[in-house]
Each structure stands twice: as structure tokens, then as C-alpha cells.
Structure 1
Amino acid sequence: MIFVLGATGKVGRHLVPALLDAGAAVRALTRDPAKARIDPRADVVRGDLGTSDLPALLDGADRVFVLTQGHSADREAAVAQSAAQAGVTHLVKLSTTGVHFGQTDPVTRAHAEAEQAIREAGPAWTILRPGAFMDNRFAWLGPIRGENAVYVPDTDPPSALVHVRDIAAVATLALTTSGHAGATYELTGGEALTTAQQVAILAEALGRPLKYVEEPESAAKDRMIRMYGWPAKAVDGLFALKCESAPHESVVFDTVERLLGRPPLTFATWARENTAAFAYHYQE
């Protein structure tokens, strides 16, 4: 039995069906099974890692996909310890390439600490370190729908964005086949694209031009606070992460192709898959 944390998240929603298609039995954790859109073939269980009885949730599981909300090192350490006590044999943790590059921003530090907890817990482990997700470009939804425009910080670097299905495919491999214990895998897409190139690719998929606007970091922060209602501290943390990752985001790793035997999915593929999401009400 494979126990999947973060089953409704960006990676988890692809990982659960991929594991099931591979013939694995899956237990998927969610706070609200009634609202969660999880493959009905999975054993869906209600739970909250902050309050639930971890040993009970892990009972019968032999492998665990570790991803917690907020990337909490303490919470992931608790999961790892409980998993060891429950007899789990293999932990697969979703981390970030920032750890590979030695970044010191708060998000990366938490992942680095959680990685160490996973390694020290006792079960075999595999660490997955993806770079920036293509799904992060859903942050452009509001301006595209409303103004047919994309606003980006003028400091945005070229990025080898990775498709979440590629991350899920590698996680499936690590959880269902041998030879991955003790491995750390950096995961990126196959090419680094500037944000202007990404916008052009998305515009082509949508069949209409998009206005591309670069703005100072201060304006970009104000926009995020205004659009998403995030606290300023969270936005500052995100920009701290972006600042530290900027020199490395263009680095391309061959891990996806090496493990899966095919090239990574492209941003053009992602754009074509998500054209409906970017439907807009903009009128000139």
C-alpha cells in the first residue's frame, strides 16, 4: 500500500492515478473526502497531519509519498518518524532544486531540514528535487482573462520549467520499482525559456496575441497582494526564493529523460492542455 500525502495538490492529483494505473494500492489523504476530486479507485481517508493520529493513518502502508502543506520540516519529520514506527519501508519526498544549489531562503531551508529528517528516519528514501513548475503560470490567469495581458517582474530569469506530470511519473517509478533507494533526483524541463518566450508560446496556443508587461519588483509584489490576498510576508518569502533561484533556474537536468526514457513534456504541451483555463472576457 502506498500512502500519498498532498493527494489533491499539483503533483498528487497526477500521482494517484499514475500509481493506480501501475497496479499499486493507494491510500490518499485529504482533509475533506466529500470535496476532494481523487480517483475513486483509491482508498480516500480523512486526516490532518497537524491533529490526526499519524500511526493510524499509516497503518498497513509500506511506502509513503511525503509532501506537506507549507513545506513544514517539523511536520515532515513527524511523518518520517511515524512511518518508521509503522514499518514503512520506503519514503519518497518531494523537495526542490534549491537544496541542490545550496539556497538559504526559508522555503529551501525547510526542505533541506525535511530531507535530512527523511534520511535519518530509518526507512529507505528517495528525494525528488523539481525546479519551477509549469503550473506556476496559472498565476497569469487573472490578467489574461481580464486584460489579455501578462505582468511579470523585470527580474524574472529564464527557467527550465517542469511539467507536474513528469514529476508524478518519476515519483511513480520511485514508488513502484526497485533501484531508487538512496537516490536524489533533480527534475527540470528540457529547455530554459524566458518569460517572454513562455508568453509567446501561450499566445500561440490560445490563438491570440497577449500583451507582455515587465514591471518593477515593488509593483509585482503589490499586484500579488492585491490579486491573491496573500500576506506581505508570504509574498516577500516568494520573492526571496525567486531571488536566490534566479542564477540556477536555467539549468537543465537530464534526469526526466534518463529515468522515463522520453524527453520531458514541453511548455507548448502544457499551454495546449490548458487553453480552456485561460478563456477570457476581455473586450478591446
Structure 2
Amino acid sequence: MIFVLGATGKVGRALVPALLDAGAAVRALTRDPAKARIDPRADVVGADLETADLPALFDGADRVFLLTQGFRHEGAIARAAARAGVTHLVKLSTSGVHFGQTDPITRAHAEAEQAVREAGPAWTILRPGAFMDNRFAWLRTIREENTVYVPEGDPASALVHVRDIAAVATLALTTSGHEGATYELTGGEALTTEQQVAVLSDAIGRPIEYVEEPETAARERMTRMYGWPVEAVDGFFALKRESAAHEHVVFDTVARLLGKPPRTFPDWARENAAAFTYHYRG
């Protein structure tokens, strides 16, 4: 049995059906099964990792996909999984650990990685770069204003498709030979933010205005429009400052492991074009 934590997250939503399609028995964790949209073939479990009886929660599972909100409890969760007899942990981390970033998000992942390595079971670490799905943050302003606002100096990025991350996780969870491996995962090319907007414009079928704004304006927008707390905005900009020098770096891991090129940003844009056309009437 493979137990997927973070089953309703960006990667988890793609991972659960991928594992099921590969013939695995899957248990999926969510806080609220009534609201979660999880593949009905999975055994859906409702629990809060903050308060759950962890050894009981892992009973019957032998492999675990590990991702939790905030990452601070992943050491305790990994140790509880070990006590319950789990034999393999696959931890979703971030490429910032590879590059030695010291922002709070990356530090939390690095500490969780170490805890997973020390917990006892075999482990595999996945370190993706920025997700293509992060561009859903543009939904509101594209729908309402036909405009994308980005902070000045936003770097080129080798964005990775979440289904490619899920495919690598599926491979690590269902086949041997990945124990003790750490995989950096990116897409196959780095695109500037302006290039990404052009790709999305082409997929939608209309020009989208591209606007760079100072960090102060970007901070105000995140707080006002998206309701981000100050600490989340601070964490975002700390992460962006540290990743700017290497966000363009392309790793060949996806192609090497899956035997085919990673999905492209134009692929993603075509898949999701309808979502960006909903409100705008031009």
C-alpha cells in the first residue's frame, strides 16, 4: 500500500491517479474527505497530521509520499512511519536545497530531508524547481484586466510540469533502484516571464499585456488582491532573491528517468487555456 500525504496538493492531485494507473493500491490523506476531489479508486482517509495518531495512520502502508504543510513536522512523521513498518519514503523537496539556498522555505525542506534520511526506511528525495502550475497566480488579473503583473527582475525559469514530477514519484514508489537517490527536476528549457506570457497569449488566442512592477507594488498586490499574510510575502521574495541566479538551470533528470522529454510550457498553456479566458470580454 502506498500512502500519499498532500494528496490534494499540486503534485498529489496528479500522483494519486498516476499510481492507481500503475496498478498500485493507494491510500490518500486529506483533512476533509467530503470536500476533497480525489480519484475514487483510492482509499481516502481524513485526518489532521497535527493531531492524528501517526503510527495508526500508517498501519498497513509500506511506502509513503511525504509532503506536509510547512514541512516542520516531517521528521516526526517519518519516524512514526518507520515505527509502523514503512519501508520507503519519497520526500518532495525543492531544488533550492541543491543550490544551498538559505531562505526559510528552503531551510525547512533541507531540515526535513535530513530527518527523512535519518528516520530508518529507504528514501528518495525529489527536488523540483518552480512549477508551471504556479502561473495560475495570474488567473485573476488575466481574467479581469487581460494583464500579467510581475516583480521587476523576475528571472528566467525552467518550469516543470506537475505531471512530470508525479511520474518520477510514481517510478520511485513502484520500482526498485531509486533508494538513496536525490533527483533534481526541471522542465527542458528556461523561459523568461515575458516569454511565458507570450506563450500563454498564443494559447488563449489574444494578446496579454505584460507589466513589470517594483517590489513594493508587487508586495501590496499580493497582500490586497490575494490576501497573503506579510510573512508569506516575505518568504516569497526571500525565495525569489536566492533562486534568481540559478532558476534557469535545466536538469536532464525527467528525460533520463522517464525516457521521454519533459512536458513543455506550451503544453501546459494549451491544457489550461480555458481557465484563463473565463471572465475577460475584451
Taking structure 2 as the reference length, the TM-score comes to 0.99
8 Å CA contact 1:148–1:211 kept in 2: the answer is yes
Q: Please list, as runs of the form range in 1=range in 2, the aligned pairs for 1:65-104 lying within 5 A after superposition.
A: 65-72=65-72, 75-104=73-102
Q: Please list, as runs of the form range in 1=range in 2, the aligned pairs for 1:250-269 lying within 5 A after superposition.
A: 250-269=248-267
1:30 aligns with 2:30: yes
Q: Please list, as runs of the form range in 1=range in 2, the aligned pairs for 1:36-55 lying within 5 A after superposition.
A: 36-55=36-55
CA distance, structure 1, for counterparts of residue 243 and residue 144 of structure 2: 30
- Indicate which of 177, 180, 183 corresponds to 2:181: 183
Q: SS in structure 1 opposite 2:10?
A: coil
8 Å CA contact 1:192–1:251 kept in 2: the answer is yes
Q: Deviations over 1:35-72 (max 9, x none)?
A: 11001110001111001111111000000000001232
CA distance, structure 1, for counterparts of residue 39 and residue 263 of structure 2: 23
Q: Deviations over 1:150-196 (max 9, x none)?
A: 00111200000000000000000000000000000000000000000
Q: Please list, as runs of the form range in 1=range in 2, the aligned pairs for 1:1-284 lying within 5 A after superposition.
A: 1-72=1-72, 75-284=73-282
Q: CA deviation at 1:283?
A: 4.6
Q: 4+ residue stretches of structure 1 with deviation over 4 A?
A: none
Q: Percent identity?
A: 82
Aligned residues: 282
Aligned amino acid, residue 52 of structure 1: A
CA distance, structure 1, for counterparts of residue 45 and residue 279 of structure 2: 39
CA distance, structure 2, for counterparts of residue 261 and residue 283 of structure 1: 42
Aligned amino acid, residue 159 of structure 2: L
Superposition RMSD on alpha carbons, in Å?
Answer: 0.7
Q: Deviations over 1:10-45 (max 9, x none)?
A: 000000000001010000000111111001110001
CA distance, structure 1, for counterparts of residue 137 and residue 206 of structure 2: 19
CA distance, structure 1, for counterparts of residue 205 and residue 187 of structure 2: 24
CA distance, structure 1, for counterparts of residue 133 and residue 278 of structure 2: 18
Q: SS in structure 2 opposite 1:274?
A: helix
CA distance, structure 1, for counterparts of residue 62 and residue 106 of structure 2: 28
8 Å CA contact 1:127–1:185 kept in 2: the answer is yes
CA distance, structure 2, for counterparts of residue 53 and residue 149 of structure 1: 47
Q: SS in structure 2 opposite 1:56?
A: helix
Comparing 58-67 with 270-279, which one deviates more in the overlay? 270-279
8 Å CA contact 1:150–1:199 kept in 2: the answer is yes
